[in-house]
Chain A
Amino acid sequence: MSTLDVGTYSPREKGVVGLLGVLGALLLLAVVTGFLAPAYLLYLVGLSAMYMLLSMGLNVQWGYGGMINFSVAAFFGLGAYGTALLTASGSPISGGVSPVVALFGGLGLAAVLAVIIGYPTLKLRDDYLAIASLGLAEVVRIFILNESQWTAGSAGLTGIPLFFSDWPVLGDLTYPYVFYAGGTPVFNMSQSVVTSFLNVVLVSVIVAAVYLFLRRIHQSPWGRVLRTIRTDEDLAETLGKNTFAFKMQAFVIGSLIMALAGVFYSHLVLFVSPQDLQPITTFYVWVAVILGGTGSDRGAMLGGFTIVAIQQGTRFLTDTGALPIGAAPLRLMLVGLLIIFIVRLRPEGILPPERELIWPDSLGGGRDE
């Protein structure tokens, strides 16, 4: 489990993996031929990774434990605000803290809120939890919007530093950054390429670490109890499992992962405002998890990627005038149709969870993970 080992593949998964390979190759080709600008591609990769984190976080709550959490945007926003308030030059309360430290600020804030939201709502079931969590998420957004003495209100926070801004070497690069080999310049990278690249490195490390962490807990007896709770909480209770505690753990873990996505977002986009807590983000993350395959970590990652592909890919539609419909509604319609078609073609998601999740190696020599 030390490498990013993705286990064995079913034939169906092989198809998906093959498709991804082809897609990756195409993207690379597009960059090499100059069709796709590297800075833009890197931005898209960063954005996808952010959605991957959000979907993995939601998958812990919904996919493992069946908790219908509609407050994704709030945890995302808290992560973003947590780090922004601590680091941004425009912060009304503090600012100037190193992003590495602020990271924990964002996570801490999210953890506290997860417990505060979770405590009353996790006792509710199904859709009741959905609406309660959505409501509390709105309370958080409204608070951030209106308490401008602490949050800068609707104006949002500007002056957020790059994540690596105070690191040795990385923080001191000058732009355009020229890479020499034997005295001759080989690369000439603009700031946006370099910073995007660093962001992608950062987020890749985060995504990989989160994935490996989740993989382990998902295959464990802990994950199994959650899956039991998902279909039948009473059953888990009779078997002596403290379902509330399990749910709370999953809720907090999921929320922290979402907050991580928010922290990353802050340092990617360098501006946060209460708008970033709009429920629409929550819906997109839900779509990502379902399209990817509820209960599957790989599916959640793929779903995060898919949603960005749908959102951003449709940007390249241009209004040709050939259709009696403007580009914006056309795009909206396409996003809608794509969602419908994916559910139609893959009702269980693109990469549904494995049929069985058992702690690796415990099945004896017969099966290798």
Chain B
Amino acid sequence: MAQILQYLANGLVFSSIIILGSIGLSLVYSIADFANFAHGDTMTLGAYGAFVAFGVFGGLGGTVLGLPIGFFIALVVGMALAAAVAVLTHILVYKPLDTDSIGLLITSIGVAFVYRAVLQASFGTDFLQYDISRSGPIPVLLDTLDVAVTQRDVAIIVSAAVLVAGLHLLLQRTTLGRKMRATADNPDLARVSGIRTDRVILVMWVVGSALAAAGGVFLALYSQLDPRIGFNILLVVFAAVILGGIGSVYGAMLGGLLIGMLHELTPLLSDVGLPISNAYAPAVAFVIMVAVLLVRPRGIAGDMT
């Protein structure tokens, strides 16, 4: 029982990281209408931005959930940096393009290479870490439930939950969100209605990339920082977004949860008489994903909003 709980806890943490990556992607996906392959590298960019900023602010005292205040400042800096870079990229690269969504997708692969090249040239290829000490499992949970969860894990889960809720409110409850959805739906009609779609798209890049950066920072916090972390997790993040249903924030969340859980729960399969090696964990996740898509061809959240 404790063992299952532990796997579930691991799954929840890992899912949260995927969710952090996927909601930003989902936003860009639905509004700019293309699969942005530079999203992973935007995550990495944000993580490096925060890394540099942490070097400056890291010393600030006080901790929240085991993380120094300076970390949160660095997080914001990373998010701002990623947003600024994305806006610049939009203006220099995407906006002048006259192409369809697949053309944009291919362009974004080029953009991803450029980001990664810059990071690799500036920071090298070896891995780095935020200099934040680890505190180990929270004693209360370990004693009562026999489940090891760290404060850092809690921080990741809480951040994911807050950002998902925030984005949901933004999209569903604010005029800006409705404008975003209208622009995604039919950009021409949006302009006809008086929506300044240029601005909406800029805001979308700001929000989407800042979310990506947040995902990247927590990812780096969870494991480590190297120029490929974002790219390495990108496919999983895409899987989450598409499995959830393109353009749905809740979908992205559900997709992320499902994929993260599946990934972490594979070892349990052997307990139910399916001795499937860990090596097949990604395969199992993919097969289940395809199975889900067969039942719901438009993703879990398919026709919901």
A and B touch in the complex (CB under 8 A): yes
Which parts of B115-154 form the interface with A (CB within 8 Å)?
Answer: 116-118, 120-121
For B37, list chain A residues within 8 Å (CB): 283
Q: Are B277 and A146 in contact (CB under 8 A)?
A: yes
- Contact indicator A128/B297 (Cβ below 8 Å): yes
A332 CB within 8 Å of chain B: yes
| Interface residue? A136 (CB, 8 A) | yes
Query: Quick one: given A290-B106, A291-B106, A324-B121, are A123 and B279 in contact (CB under 8 Å)?
Result: no
Contact of A135 among B93, B110, B277, B287 (CB under 8 A): B287
CB atoms of A343 and B299 under 8 A apart: no
Q: How far is the CA of A127 from the CA of B153 in the complex (A)?
A: 32
Closest CB of chain B to A344's CB: distance in Å?
6
Are the C-beta atoms of A286 and B113 separated by less than 8 Å?
no
Determine whether the beta carbon of B294 is less than 8 Å from that of A347. no
**A253 close to chain B: CB less than 8 A:** no
Interface hits, A125-146 → B, CB 8 Å: 125, 127-128, 130-132, 134-136, 138-139, 142-143, 145-146
Interchain CB contact under 8 A, A329 and B289: no
Q: Which of B95-103, B164-172, B267-275 contacts A (4 or more CB under 8 A)?
A: B95-103
Check B72 for interface membership: any CB of A closer than 8 A.
no
Residues 251-291 of B, flagged 1 when their CB comes within 8 A of A and 0 if not, give 00000000000000000000000000101101101110110
A139 & B117 in contact (Cβ 8 Å cutoff): no
B residues contacting the other copy or chain, number (CB 8 A):
44
A131 in contact with B289 given A124-B297, A330-B117, A333-B118 (CB within 8 Å): yes
Picked from B110, B279, B283, the residue with its CB within 8 Å of the CB of A343 is B110
Enumerate chain A residues within 8 angstroms of B102, measured Cβ to Cβ. Answer: 290, 294
A258-290 toward B: CB 8 Å interface, digit per residue (1/0)? 000000000000000000000100010011001
Q: Which residue of A lies closest to B246 (CB)?
A: A127
Q: Are A329 and B99 within 8 A (Cβ)? A: no
- Tell me whether A131 and B243 are in contact (CB under 8 A): yes
At the interface with chain A, which of B13-21, B47-55, B195-203, B234-242?
Answer: B234-242
B-side contacts of A294, CB under 8 Å: 102
B111 at the interface (CB under 8 A from A): yes
Q: Does B8 contact A (CB under 8 A)?
A: no
Structural contact, B293 and A333, CB atoms closer than 8 A: no
| A142 engages B293 (CB within 8 Å) | no
- Considering only CB atoms, which chain B residue lies closest to A146 in the complex? B279
Contacts of B117 in A (CB 8 A): 325, 329-330, 332-333, 336
CA distance A195 to B282 in the complex (A): 40
Assembly CA distance A143 to B105 (angstroms): 29
Collect the chain B residues with CB atoms within 8 Å of residue A93's CB. none
A317 — which chain B residues lie within 8 A by C-beta? none
**B282–A121 CB distance below 8 A:** no
**Contacts A142-B282, A290-B103 given; does A131 touch B93 at CB 8 Å:** no
Could you tell me the distance between the alpha carbons of A65 and B119 in the complex, rounded to whole angstroms? 38
**CA distance in complex: A83, B98 (Å):** 43
Interchain CA distance A343-B98 in the complex, whole Å: 9
Q: How far is the CB of A299 from chain B (nearest CB, A)?
A: 13
Q: For residue B12, which residues in chain A have a CB less than 8 angstroms away from its CB? A: none
Closest-CB distance, A152 to chain B (whole angstroms): 15
Given A134-B235, A146-B280, A336-B114 in contact, is the A343-B293 Cβ separation under 8 Å? no
- B-chain residues with CB within 8 Å of residue A330 when the two chains form the complex: 117, 121
CB distance from B202 to the nearest CB of A (A): 20
Return A306 CB to nearest CB of chain B, in Å: 12
Nearest CB of chain B from residue A229's CB, rounded to whole Å: 16
Give B219 Cβ to nearest chain A Cβ, in Å. Answer: 20
- Please give 4 more A-B residue pairs, beta carbons under 8 A apart, in addition to A124-B294, A287-B106, A336-B117: A120-B294, A138-B286, A143-B283, A328-B120
Contacts from A to B (Cβ < 8 Å): 120-121, 123-125, 127-128, 130-132, 134-136, 138-139, 142-143, 145-146, 279, 283, 286-287, 290-291, 294, 324-326, 328-330, 332-333, 335-340, 343-344, 347-348
Question: Can you list 12 A-B pairs with a CB-CB distance of less than 8 A?
Answer: A123-B294, A127-B35, A135-B286, A139-B283, A139-B287, A146-B277, A283-B37, A287-B106, A332-B113, A333-B117, A336-B112, A343-B106
